Structure 1
Amino acid sequence: MTSSVRAENAAFSALIPALAPPPSNQALAEIPDPGRKLLALRSYIRMGTRLASRWSWTDAEIAAFQGSPEQLALQAEIDAVSAHFADANPGYEIYVHATVRSLDTQIKRWNANDSVGTAAAELLAAFEDRFGSEDGQPGAIDPAALKTWLTRFKLSRRPNLAAPGLTLHGRASAIDFQIMKDGRIVAGANSKQIDTVWRAEKWDEKLKASMDAAGPSFTGPLTSPDEPWHYNYKPKPVAKEDAVASTLPEAVRTPADPPPVASPPVPLPIPAQVPLPLPRPRYP
């Protein structure tokens, strides 16, 4: 059964939104290829109750992040790692594109990525074998059975992209660090360079050294899939009182010295009591 035939099949199309956990419905609607759509749905189902908390920020949330104390803290740590790397590797520098990755961008990449296409074709073929009918159209598929099958199905090779909405790049919680020399990327976020550049020239070790020295909130690199340039960012939580204080004007956060406390009055000395002479008795 071809993708075009399946895409036109109402029964198959109805299954997707019926199984899509919120808020993934909109993203799935923007993935036209059935195999890629099914592959994304598999990720959303497997994410379970964590889906909503992992979902990428909205445009409004991304705008609110810009210039916030959290964004400035992230940038300060990136700058510290970059400075350490430049000192340790003269002539080379780190390039970071720290912009939060929007959901639209993630969907576009998902719809065009080759590794996603390969995994989608494998999943779609397995789906046809498991749920296809004799006439080449999917029969009456039990949504619960499909959900269980998608949850348990294992790909022979994972795509190198997270399903749209699930990447930590969509929440400013992951950063890709690339190596640059003379304005040119020499070790980029490219899976084809992992063995030939990143490991052959030991950029993975050199970047890790700078992370350990100057990036306390970064963990990594990512190992599944293998991305030596990818580090997750998880700063220590700010205490509630500190978070409130950071939003206040400086004059409020740092009050003036309190007025000196007046010393208690020094008691005046009490003069000694001089005994008065007793009246002399008068006799008759």
Structure 2
Amino acid sequence: MTEIWQKTGRQWRLALCTMMIAAALAAGPSCTPSFASAPASLEDVLTAIAPPPSAEALVLIPDRGRKLLALRSYVRSGAALAQRWSWTDAEIKAFAGSPGEQALLAEVNAVKAHFNDANPGHELYVHGTTRSLDEQIAKWNSNESVGAAAAEMEAAFTAAFGEAGAVPDPKKLAQWLRGYQPSKRPNLAAPGMTLHGRASAIDFQVMKDGRIYAGANGKQVESIWRAEGWDQKLKASITAAGPSFVGPLANPDEPWHYDYHPKADASLATAD
């Protein structure tokens, strides 16, 4: 009962704050209320300016820097966010075993077979076709590169709006988020935004002796993927057997990541 009450209270508070801030944004700067006296916290403001459907994901990111970093991506995407948002559990379940998944798996298996034949002693490994939103949030909350970028962004936020506890004007905050350019980029897309969440991207990893040898790990890009040529070997197998795969992802630099488009179109490759 307590959990239900907490969830209901959170949703009510989010809805109220969203309506209040939306009205302020629509009214313009001269009519924006003073949040020093309004019943709104920084958490309320951050959540309320998040474009749908990202607000519910945002509240599951407890660290302020990581929350700001995710919100930056959400705000910059704006109305287009809903079009690439990760599938719900029901949509993931519906995809499992569907003709779409069968076609994807057939192409993945063709790439794996070509790679394994061309590289004796090594084999490709793929961990699933869809990454749930819960999994994305968990990775975002623990990833080191996200933490480094988040710390930088939190420092910039404090410099722009004041110490912890300050509640900035929502319109100014949204503008700041759109313009902020981090020098440290995380190697993960913000939760809900990765194409892995819609079965439209695959991470290919190289295994040796039953263990991951060249994995989806930014620290291995130069030392293993490029130094030993696995990026080119994977690319050769993609070219030979994976006509629907586009990539690899260049920004961030992930030689293991390929977007999946049944009708391959290089213009569809995406980056934040």
Equivalence for 2:247: 220
**Partner residue of 2:89 out of 34, 42, 59:** 59
> Residue 114 of structure 2 contacts residue 241 of structure 2 at CA under 8 Å; is this kept in 1?
yes
Q: Which residues in structure 2 correspond to 1:265-280 (within 5 Å)?
A: none
Is residue 83 from structure 1 mapped to residue 113 from structure 2 by the alignment?
yes
| Alpha-carbon distance between aligned partners in 2 of 1:33 and 1:98, rounded to the nearest angstrom | 28
Equivalence for 2:227: 200
> Residue 111 of structure 2 contacts residue 237 of structure 2 at CA under 8 Å; is this kept in 1?
yes
| Alpha-carbon distance between aligned partners in 2 of 1:70 and 1:235, rounded to the nearest angstrom | 9
Displacement, 1:106?
A: 0.5
**Partner residue of 1:112 out of 122, 135, 142:** 142
User: Which amino acid in structure 1 is aligned with residue 96 of structure 2?
Assistant: Q
Equivalence for 2:3: none
User: Which amino acid in structure 1 is aligned with residue 117 of structure 2?
Assistant: D
For each residue in 1:78-97, what CA deviation from the matched residue of structure 2 results, as whole angstroms up to 9, or x when unmatched? 01111111121122211111
User: Which amino acid in structure 1 is aligned with residue 178 of structure 2?
Assistant: T
| Alpha-carbon distance between aligned partners in 1 of 2:240 and 2:46, rounded to the nearest angstrom | 47
Larger radius of gyration: 1
Q: Which residues in structure 2 correspond to 1:121-132 (within 5 Å)?
A: 121-132=151-162
Is residue 170 from structure 1 mapped to residue 197 from structure 2 by the alignment?
yes
Displacement, 1:179?
A: 0.8
| Alpha-carbon distance between aligned partners in 2 of 1:127 and 1:62, rounded to the nearest angstrom | 36
Equivalence for 1:269: none
> Residue 131 of structure 2 contacts residue 196 of structure 2 at CA under 8 Å; is this kept in 1?
yes
Q: Secondary structure at the match of 1:56?
A: coil
Displacement, 1:11?
A: 2.6
> Residue 203 of structure 2 contacts residue 258 of structure 2 at CA under 8 Å; is this kept in 1?
yes
Q: Which residues in structure 2 correspond to 1:153-192 (within 5 Å)?
A: 153-192=180-219
User: Which amino acid in structure 2 is aligned with residue 157 of structure 1?
Assistant: K
> Residue 48 of structure 2 contacts residue 55 of structure 2 at CA under 8 Å; is this kept in 1?
no
| Alpha-carbon distance between aligned partners in 2 of 1:137 and 1:107, rounded to the nearest angstrom | 24
User: Which amino acid in structure 1 is aligned with residue 98 of structure 2?
Assistant: S
| Alpha-carbon distance between aligned partners in 2 of 1:116 and 1:86, rounded to the nearest angstrom | 33
User: Which amino acid in structure 2 is aligned with residue 214 of structure 1?
Assistant: A
Is residue 138 from structure 1 mapped to residue 157 from structure 2 by the alignment?
no
**Partner residue of 1:46 out of 76, 81, 98:** 76
Displacement, 1:64?
A: 0.3
> Residue 51 of structure 2 contacts residue 79 of structure 2 at CA under 8 Å; is this kept in 1?
no
Number of aligned residue pairs: 226
The runs of 5 or more residues in structure 2 that have no matched partner are 1-38, 265-272
User: Which amino acid in structure 2 is aligned with residue 138 of structure 1?
Assistant: A
Equivalence for 1:267: none
Counting aligned pairs with the same residue, the percent is: 65
Q: Secondary structure at the match of 1:16?
A: helix
RMSD between superposed Cα atoms in Å: 1.5
Q: Which has the higher helix share?
A: 2
User: Which amino acid in structure 2 is aligned with residue 95 of structure 1?
Assistant: Y
Equivalence for 1:70: 100
> Residue 195 of structure 2 contacts residue 201 of structure 2 at CA under 8 Å; is this kept in 1?
yes
The runs of 5 or more residues in structure 1 that have no matched partner are 1-8, 238-284
Displacement, 1:99?
A: 3.5
Displacement, 1:142?
A: 1.8
Is residue 19 from structure 1 mapped to residue 49 from structure 2 by the alignment?
yes
For each residue in 1:126-171, what CA deviation from the matched residue of structure 2 results, as whole angstroms up to 9, or x when unmatched? 11111116xx6415x2211110110001001111111100011100
Equivalence for 2:124: 94
User: Which amino acid in structure 1 is aligned with residue 184 of structure 2?
Assistant: R
